Structure 1
C-alpha cells in the first residue's frame, strides 16, 4: 500500500460506493455508518491501493475536466472504459494514446468528480 490516499465526499455515499463498484471495478474494504445510516467513512480498493470516501456536500459547481482528478492505473483501458460506459459513467474523453506511451480515458462519476484511468505507472 502507498502513503497517499485520496479522500472524496459525496452527497450520497451509499450510491457512490455502488457506482464506483459497478462502473470502475472498485472493491469495498470498509464502510462505517453512523446511527442514522449515513456513511461517515469508507475505504474502497483497486488493486493494492485505496480511496477513502464519506458523505459530504456536493461540489459548489461542476468541476472542470482538469479539476479534482484521480488517476488509477488499469491493465486494460478499453475493457475498463466499456464497463464504465455500460454502468452509466459520463465519458469525458474516450480511450486515447498519450505521447508518453500510456493509453488513457477520462470519466465523470455520479457526483461530477473526474477520474482518469490509464496504463501509465509513475
Structure 2
C-alpha cells in the first residue's frame, strides 16, 4: 500500500504566510489555490524535493496530511478505532476526497486521495 505524507500548517492569512515562508525560509510555491472570493485558501510549497501544505483556517498548530488509496475505508477504520472526526469525507475542488480527525491527544490528522 502506497502512502505519501505531507506536513501541514493552518494560517489565518495564507497569502501573508506564503510571503513569509518563501522570503524567510526559501520555500518555492508549487501551487496556490484561491476560493470563489479570490482568497488563497490552500498552497503547496516546495523545500527541495519535499513539499509542505498550508491552508486557510484557524491557526492551531501543525497537522499531518497522509495520501491513502481507499479514503472511505480509512475513514471508517479511524472512526471505529476512536478517532474524533472533525471533517467528514468531502470532495474538494482540487480533486481530492478527504476527511480530518483528531487522535486521542487532540493532534490533527488529514487523510485523502490528493497526490500533487
Please give the TM-score of this superposition, normalised by the length of structure 1: 0.46
Point out the structure with the larger strand share.
Answer: 2
TM-score, length of structure 2 as denominator length: 0.48
